[in-house]
Amino acid sequence: GFWEWDYSSRNGPSTWVEKFPMAAGSRQSPVNIETDRAESDHEALSSKPLRWKYPATASRKLLNPGYCWRVDTDGEGTLLSGGPLMDDIYKLEQYHCHWGCSDSRGSEHTVDGQAFAGELHLVHWNTTKYKTFAEAAKAPDGLAVLGVFLKVGKPHDEMDKIARLLPYVSHKEDCIEINEPIDPSKLLPDDNGYWTYLGSLTTPPCNESVTWILFKRYIEVSHHQLNIFRNLRKFPRGEECPCHENHGVVINNFRPPLPLGNRVLRECGS
Ligand code: SG5
Ligand code: ZN
């Protein structure tokens, strides 16, 4: 068959560059956040508080693309602004998650070398400057991704709404409509402190178009909720299970950290 990127030993992150030259760039994500290196004296960040608005009705569809679970929104009434985003307004396009095979790994970014059990990504695009998501995804200031680390602890109520729907999208290409409203702002930590740097999409084509905003505080989800994520299948319904690799379940769907290089890591709040 034709070559498809994934997270396996054969077609995983170290091979992506063969088909997606951007993956070898100098503005790639994720990175390890060295907390000592963060520059905090940025009037620019603190003078404009990060602001978001997510009507719960905007979350429309839950999908299994074979790499993760993803909620697609209609963008209607959603907004992200302030902080490192200059004077531009961004809209929420989708949110999705990365996780491991065990609770000790799964995040894409690491903090002082430590991985978390998972990482939630809320993907936004710059509607001030660009007409479509696709156009924004190619521009250096086109996308903004909010990242939230997941740590194992008590069950998370809003995440449970997603976890309870995942059995309905157990196979690749499955998709359902969301009827009970899911409010993505309830998936964010209580405190607004964040790190920010300029990076890329963490999956092919690895476009260097993302302003990353990573919350310093994690949210808790339960071991059971993560196990529900770990039960999603990488292959379509009706197809045979490619049992040679992890019985065809979606796990370890994270790209390992790449060098920050000479990029600036900034922080705001604690
Ligand atoms: C996810 O992460 C999503 C991508 C997203 C990347 O893995 O992958 C899927 O849902 C599989 C198709 O979303 C899409 O591909 C939507 C069509 O990529 C994008 O948002 C750009 C197209 C990378 O996003 S990330 O850097 O935040 N991890
Ligand atoms: Zn992601």
Share of the chain above pLDDT 90, in %: 91
Residue whose CA lies nearest to ligand 1 atom number 19: 201
Judge if pTM exceeds 0.95: yes
Q: How far is CA 62 from CA 96, 100, 101, 167, in A?
A: 10, 20, 22, 11
ipTM of this model? 0.92
109 lines ligand 1 (CB under 6 A): no
Q: For ligand 1, atom 16, which residue shows the shortest CA distance?
A: 94
| Element spanning 226, H or E | helix 223-229
Determine the residue of 64, 96, 214 to mutate for testing ligand 1's pocket, defined as the one with the most ligand atoms within 8 A of the Cβ atom.
96
One-letter amino acid of 194: Y
Residues 110-121 have pLDDT tens digits of 999 999 999 999
The SS3 call for residue 58 is helix
Would you say residue 245 has pLDDT above 90? no
Query: Closest by alpha carbon to 149, among 189, 198, 206, 92?
Result: 189
For range 73-80, the mean pLDDT:
96
pLDDT of residue 141 exceeding 80: yes
Backbone angles phi, psi at 167, to 5 degrees: -60, -20
Mean pLDDT calculated for residue range 154-160: 98
Cβ of 203 below 6 Å from ligand 1: yes
Q: Which residues fall within 8 angstroms of residue 124, CB to CB, at 6 or more apart?
A: 78, 80, 90, 91, 92, 93, 143, 144, 145, 146
Residue 243 has pLDDT above 70, yes or no: no
Ligand 1 geometric centre to CA of 94 (Å): 8
Give the distance (Å) from ligand 2 centre to CA of residue 98.
6
Ligand at minimal distance from the CA of 123 is 1
- Ligand 1 in reach of 146 Cβ (< 6 A): no
Among protein residues, the one with the nearest Cα to ligand 1's atom 26 is 201
Which of the ligands is closest to the CA of residue 93?
1
- Provide the pLDDT confidence category of residue 1 given band limits of 50, 70 and 90: low
pLDDT tens per residue, range 16-70: 999 999 999 999 999 999 999 999 967 888 889 999 999 999 999 999 999 999 9
Antiparallel, parallel or unpaired: β 143-152 and 59-63: unpaired
pLDDT, residue 56, reads: 92
